[in-house]
Amino acid sequence: MKDRSLLYLITAIGMSGWVLLFRKRDHFKDWLIIYLFKTLVSTLMDGPVIKRKFLQYPIRLFPKWFDSNIAFLYLIFPMLCVMYNQFTYQMKPIKTFFSVFLFSLPMAGIEHWLEKRTNLVEFNKGWTSVHTIFVLTLTFWFVRLFIYTVRKLDNKMRGGGIEVGGS
């Protein structure tokens, strides 16, 4: 029961995070694109990892319909990706490159703690927190590059110059 309560708490935090997430209305469209694209990327990456049983989620929401932890996959991870993009919006590329670890390291640390102390996540077949850090970091960078490209194309189509904060 303790694990399920923790899962509900994580889900509630994820849902309440939407309010904070979209508070910066000046770039709402960007944040929504990032959120939705991140859920797509997460779904595509998580599927093979789950099918090959590198990661398992013994206690999860809607276990008859989902093999993965949808609270993390569709709430927490995309929300943190938007926060990363908000945090790095005005940064130079090199700072953006290193800032990702402010997000991926704590996330991997929390997942490691959950794996050791709960039944919410289970590492198998040699999967470690290092793999998690690698995957999280790459997906954050990939989504950041995607939104940079979208902004650049949008700006070009509108006939304007390159936006400074769009890198």
CB 107 within 8 A of CB 136: yes
pLDDT digits (tens, 9 = 90+) for 6-21: 889 988 988 888 777 7
pTM of the predicted protein model: 0.86
Q: How confident is the model at residue 87 (pLDDT cuts 50, 70, 90)?
A: very high
Of 27, 155, 148, nearest in space to 96 by CA? 148
Rounded CA gap, 140 and 150, in Å? 15
Sign, CA torsion 23/27/30/34: negative
Chain centroid, CA 83 distance in Å = 9
